[in-house]
Structure 1
Amino acid sequence: MKKFKRFLQAVLCTLLVGSMFYFGQATTFAKDNYIVIKKGDTLYSISKKYHISVEDLKEYNQLASNKIIAGQKLMIPDFEQTKPLYVVVAGSFSKKSNADKRVAFLKKKGIDAIVVKKVMNGKNLYRVQAGVFSNKSNAEKMKKKVKDIGIKDAFLLSEKPLHINGITLGSSYNQLLKKFGQPTKTEDDKNTRSLYYQNEGAGVRINFNAANDSIEQLQVYPEFLTTTSIPTDKNKILDAYGNPNEIKTVTCYESASCEQMIYTFNKSQLIVQIDRDGKTVQYLDLRKTK
């Protein structure tokens, strides 16, 4: 089993998309966002000011208690990338042909729309999507436009960007360390950095773009992590991410069949591979869509 998983990691590592970046041993990637605590500040007052929970502040700064003192530096996490996006839904259909007709109608009216497949209880559902917006007011305007041309059941759906443990494509290396913790060792191989936390396998592999200080691909292997915040079985994946856009059966070790749950949203794709037992998560792979 362990030999296979090491082999699987090696194969997945070769799939990481290339960049112009090589990890130097002493390189620092993050531009930390610190504030200096003033007399009278509390974690609660800071949490209200920056719209962050007290627990997130404590976790991000590795604080054991709520006690802070004047002059102390506190890092404010940047959660902009995990703020919800607003999807304009212009209909859901059990038949793709009906969804395609709706898309064609919208395009004739000057509205760019696409069909997004969802797998629910083993059945395919085809959702017509008329735009994804970071600003809710813009999404409301598009919803009104869709309703004005006769699609009265249009509605907004709030979805978070695809992420693993709060890390999205575009997050910084330092943000990743804050969420996953400091590894016991790292290994660099051209464009890839592997982070080891326990046992002999890498718990995290990333591809990083130094030009804009962002992660371009993230692979996570729950078995080799110390954090317990990563979903480790299929039901927890469904709880965390909802119904996938696609389910595929793939050949894994010893000619066994494994399941891949594939999520696609806003130019990102998350692939979750489930072991042959039908429930255990082998890995999560977050990447850009092609």
Structure 2
Amino acid sequence: MSRSFITLLIFCCFIVGCSQTKITTTETSLSFGGISIGFTEKEIVNIMGKATSIDAKSNNIKEIVYTGTKGPNAAFILENDRLKEATWYPSVYDGKLKIPMKKEDIDTLIDPSILHKVEKVDCYEWAQCSNYVFEKGKNRLEILLDWEGKLIDRVKLQ
């Protein structure tokens, strides 16, 4: 094989690997958008980009917020500079990081073996929405669909 073909092959693999954010698992934790519980502020900012605001709630609690033109995109709660909880709002998300947005993304991007349950929860005053709950080790990932069951409304990683 020629050197240029190998370089092209490596480049294509890199592009394909980066083209879709996957919900991944390690042996003990879940990840969404490449971010896992325990990440530091620096690791989150390296992935998400510059935050809209960073607010120290107390000596050891900090909130990193990303807001777009349509509203809140994501919020990260850190305790002792380690991610404790993360929330994404794909329905209004306009960040540079590509994240799952539709129900089909759940079916294709998440390992079904970690699905704990799908529950109906109250949403939008009168509607019931599907809430997918995934568990791995001590971590929990919840994906709430909109009332039509088509779009991801909120993602919470704890």
Do the structures match in fold with TM over 0.5?
A: yes
How far 1:200 sits from its partner (Å)?
Answer: 4.8
What is the number of equivalent residue pairs in this alignment? 135
Partner in structure 2 of residue 279 of structure 1: 150
1:178 aligned to which of 46, 59, 63: 46
How far 1:259 sits from its partner (Å)?
Answer: 0.7
CA contact (8 A) 1:192 1:205 kept: no
In structure 2, C-alpha distance between the alignment counterparts of 1:254 and 1:83, rounded to whole Å: 34
Alignment of 1:98-177 (within 5 A): 161-177=29-45
In structure 1, C-alpha distance between the alignment counterparts of 2:67 and 2:75, rounded to whole Å: 12
**In structure 2, do the counterparts of structure 1 residues 189 and 248 end up closer, same or farther at CA, with 3 Å as the change threshold?**
farther
**In structure 2, do the counterparts of structure 1 residues 235 and 83 end up closer, same or farther at CA, with 3 Å as the change threshold?**
closer
2:82 aligned to which of 214, 217, 229: 214
Percent of residue pairs identical = 22
In structure 1, C-alpha distance between the alignment counterparts of 2:83 and 2:76, rounded to whole Å: 7
In structure 1, C-alpha distance between the alignment counterparts of 2:137 and 2:151, rounded to whole Å: 27
Alignment of 1:1-290 (within 5 A): 84-85=26-27, 161-183=29-51, 185-186=52-53, 188=55, 190=57, 191=61, 193-210=63-80, 213-222=81-90, 223-243=92-112, 244-287=115-158
**In structure 2, do the counterparts of structure 1 residues 257 and 180 end up closer, same or farther at CA, with 3 Å as the change threshold?**
same
Structure of higher CA gyration radius? 1
In structure 1, C-alpha distance between the alignment counterparts of 2:49 and 2:104, rounded to whole Å: 25
- Determine helix, strand or coil for the equivalent of 1:254: coil
Q: Which has the higher strand share?
A: 2
In structure 2, C-alpha distance between the alignment counterparts of 1:195 and 1:285, rounded to whole Å: 14
What are the ranges of 5 or more consecutive residues in structure 1 without an aligned counterpart?
A: 1-43, 45-52, 59-81, 86-131, 133-160
CA contact (8 A) 1:196 1:224 kept: no
Q: Which has the higher helix share?
A: 1
In structure 2, C-alpha distance between the alignment counterparts of 1:261 and 1:166, rounded to whole Å: 19
Higher relative contact order (CA 8 A, sep 6+): 2
TM-score for the superposition, normalised by structure 2: 0.73
How far 1:263 sits from its partner (Å)?
Answer: 0.1
In structure 1, C-alpha distance between the alignment counterparts of 2:152 and 2:49, rounded to whole Å: 20
What are the ranges of 5 or more consecutive residues in structure 2 without an aligned counterpart?
A: 1-6, 8-12, 19-23
Runs of 4+ with >4 A deviation? none
How far 1:252 sits from its partner (Å)?
Answer: 0.4
Q: What is the Cα-based RMSD across aligned positions, in Å?
A: 2.6
Which string of whole-angstrom CA distances, capped at 9 and with x for unpartnered residues, describes residues 27-74 of structure 1? xxxxxxxxxxxxxxxxx9xxxxxxxx866xx9xxxxxxxxxxxxxxxx
TM-score for the superposition, normalised by structure 1: 0.42
How far 1:197 sits from its partner (Å)?
Answer: 3.9
How far 1:225 sits from its partner (Å)?
Answer: 3.2
